[in-house]
Amino acid sequence: MVNKPFSQACENNKAPILAQLQRHFAKATSVLEIGSGTGQHAVHFAAGLPHLQWHTSDQPHYHAGIEAWLNEAGLANLHSPVNFTVGLDTWPNIHIDAVFSANTAHIMQHDEVKVMQQVVAERLPQNGVFCQYGPFTTNGVFDGQSNADFHQYLLSEGCGGYRDISELQAWAPQLTLSENIVMPANNRLLVWFKGK
């Protein structure tokens, strides 16, 4: 039996994120989560958004932990993880009208984030929504010294570090940044909309 992985950050931020998703995913029917991680977010959000289907995805070595959370939750609208490593795997064969990703853009390499923005923009249907959570910079400015310090730490660990919101916009011009919501702990929820 796999012990459920646990992230304190997920536990801390799941309620404020859900409050926003209930608004922005109100008309969505099927969501792909890119980078489901521990699976904690998926369980909490699927329970709080019973009107939609929540599809998890991540690199294969995370799947057992995600399944442990999903199996315990037993939610009919929550789906087992599919293999999806941005830049390596093809887009999952799932009909979706919304995408969610949390705390991925500052871990991925620069080119991987670019690919993620582009493939989401390509695969979202018209009127689709992409909710992207995490820490970002705005015109090169960090939301606090702790974010600047964490960025340097990420770089030292071989991660890509913080991405600037202007970069994300340039990489996916088909998407419109409809809301840029300040969240707890110097994070943001970027709400992207694919218009006609």
pTM of the predicted protein model: 0.97
Question: Under a CB-based contact definition with an 8 Å cutoff, are residues 160 and 108 in contact?
Answer: yes
Q: How confident is the model at residue 195, as a pLDDT? A: 84
pLDDT, tens digit, 9 for 90 and up, residues 48-81: 999 999 999 999 999 999 999 999 999 999 999 9
- Whether 40 maps to a domain, the answer reads yes
pLDDT, tens digit, 9 for 90 and up, residues 111-144: 999 999 999 999 999 999 999 999 999 999 999 9
- Whether 1 maps to a domain, the answer reads no
Contacts of residue 33, Cβ cutoff 8 Å, sequence gap at least 6: 41, 42, 45, 54, 55, 56, 57, 99, 100, 101
Return the CATH number at 131. 3.40.50.150
Q: How confident is the model at residue 196, as a pLDDT? A: 64
Q: Which domain holds residue 120?
A: 8-194
pLDDT, tens digit, 9 for 90 and up, residues 132-188: 999 999 999 999 999 999 999 999 999 999 999 999 999 999 999 999 999 999 999
- Whether 2 maps to a domain, the answer reads no
